[in-house]
């Protein structure tokens, strides 16, 4: 069962990650969002250092998969969100040569109707990456105040019709399934080029999983975990995440050697047309990489 689901996830920007992160033999590696280990496998084939490889994922299924596949090699596999896991690694005084965060959900999440991430599949309004947490998209949709809903749709979904959608959501409560929610949103946007649910679903996912707060808090931990000359790469999938990464790298880095890090990607690296055709999920990916200068 693991194998089939894993096949759905293709690691994005793989050759670009290898080129810019530049793994070398014996490098230690921390994967903050290991998923199904696609990036890790490619990196491990170069570093050949499983004993100093750390894989984090907060999803139970990904964690079980990683454990089954890599634990016997001596790889450390951690079931936690990357902020808490990074804090623990900092406390343990771990430092590594390479760090990668490939943010967001995997194809496995999107393709499993039960997880409720996709408006193309009917499922419960769930959207939790970590199944141990209690807050679900159902709670946000059905229990949040009008003001809070409007705020989330505006800030996390950049939804221009946040008010109208929030009012319709409230009028139709309780909303139980992804299809019911998508139908309500489609009534507001009748002739939209992209599915108008995209923005609301993004907003709900960010709220349920606290994606932006975790990223913002974690970035400073990641610099602490890097050895001098260590490289940190972050792949983001929407402009809100990318802005956080870009601003953080700018504040802490420069294009010369005066600050903590040097920016290796003055412009983010994006997928080739070829990759987008083969893996449409990659189309919004942006990779930014820095190298650590000082400890």
Ligand X SMILES: C[S@@+](CC[C@H](N)C(=O)[O-])C[C@H]1O[C@@H](n2cnc3c(N)ncnc32)[C@H](O)[C@@H]1O
**Residue 52 or 211 with smaller CB distance to ligand X:** 211
Minimum gap (Å) between residue 100 Cβ and ligand X = 7
| Axis-axis angle for helices 38-47, 14-21 (nearest 10) | 40
CB 92 within 8 A of CB 102: no
Minimum gap (Å) between residue 37 Cβ and ligand X = 5
Provide the β-strand partners of residue 134.
Answer: none
**Residue 167 or 217 with smaller CB distance to ligand X:** 217
What count of other Cβ atoms lies within 10 Å of the Cβ of residue 229?
Answer: 9
Minimum gap (Å) between residue 126 Cβ and ligand X = 13
Minimum gap (Å) between residue 227 Cβ and ligand X = 22
Minimum gap (Å) between residue 180 Cβ and ligand X = 25
Which positions lie near ligand X, rule CB under 6 A? Answer: 9, 11, 33-39, 56-59, 62, 81-82, 102, 104-106, 129, 214
CB 222 within 8 A of CB 289: no
**Residue 184 or 289 with smaller CB distance to ligand X:** 289
**Residue 156 or 189 with smaller CB distance to ligand X:** 156
Minimum gap (Å) between residue 39 Cβ and ligand X = 4
**Residue 86 or 166 with smaller CB distance to ligand X:** 86
Minimum gap (Å) between residue 11 Cβ and ligand X = 3
**Residue 35 or 157 with smaller CB distance to ligand X:** 35
Minimum gap (Å) between residue 36 Cβ and ligand X = 4
CA distance linking residue 68 with residue 158, whole number of Å: 39
**Residue 82 or 138 with smaller CB distance to ligand X:** 82
Q: Which two tokens stand for residue 207?
A: 């709220």
**Residue 52 or 59 with smaller CB distance to ligand X:** 59
The three-state (H, E, C) secondary structure of the chain, written as one string: CHHHHHHCCCCCCHHHHHHHHCCCCCCCEEECCCCCCHHHHHHHHHHCCHHHEEEEECCHHHHHHHHHHHHHHCCEEEECCHHHHHHHHHHCCCCEEEEEEECCCCHHHHHCHHHCCCCCCCCECCCCCCCCCCCCHHHHHHHCCHHHHHHHHHHHHCCCCHHHHHHHHHHCCCCCEHHHHHHHHHHHCCCCCCCCHHHHHHHHHHHHHCHHHHHHHHHHHHHHHEEEEEEEEEEECCHHHHHHHHHHHHHHEECCCCCCEEECCCCCECCCHHHHHHCHHHHHCEEEEEEECCC
């Amino acid at each position: 069962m693991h194998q089939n689901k894993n096949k759905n996830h293709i690691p994005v920007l793989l050759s670009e990650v290898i080129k810019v992160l530049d793994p070398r033999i014996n490098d230690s590696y921390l994967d903050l969002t290991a998923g199904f280990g696609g990036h890790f496998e490619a990196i491990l084939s170069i570093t050949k250092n499983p004993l100093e490889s750390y894989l984090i994922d907060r999803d139970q299924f990904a964690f079980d998969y990683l454990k089954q596949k890599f634990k016997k090699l001596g790889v450390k596999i951690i079931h936690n969100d990357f902020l808490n896991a990074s804090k623990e690694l900092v406390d343990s005084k771990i430092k590594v040569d390479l760090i990668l965060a490939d943010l967001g959900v995997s194809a496995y999440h999107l393709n499993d109707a039960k997880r409720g991430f996709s408006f193309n599949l009917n499922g419960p309004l769930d959207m939790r990456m970590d199944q141990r947490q209690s807050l679900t998209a159902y709670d946000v949709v059905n229990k949040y105040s009008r003001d809070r809903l409007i705020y989330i749709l505006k800030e996390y979904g950049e939804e221009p019709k946040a008010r109208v959608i929030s009012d319709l959501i409230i009028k139709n409560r309780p909303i139980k399934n992804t299809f019911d929610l998508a139908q309500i949103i489609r009534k507001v946007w009748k002739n939209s080029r992209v599915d108008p649910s995209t923005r609301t679903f993004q907003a709900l996912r960010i709220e349920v999983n606290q994606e932006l707060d975790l990223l913002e808090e974690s970035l400073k931990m990641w610099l602490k975990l890097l050895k001098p000359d260590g490289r940190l790469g972050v792949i983001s999938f929407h402009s809100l995440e990318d802005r956080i990464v870009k601003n953080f790298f700018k504040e802490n880095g420069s294009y010369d050697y005066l600050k903590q890090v040097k920016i290796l990607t003055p412009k983010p690296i994006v997928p080739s047309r070829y990759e987008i055709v083969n893996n449409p999920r990659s189309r919004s990916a942006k990779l930014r990489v820095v190298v650590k200068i000082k400890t």
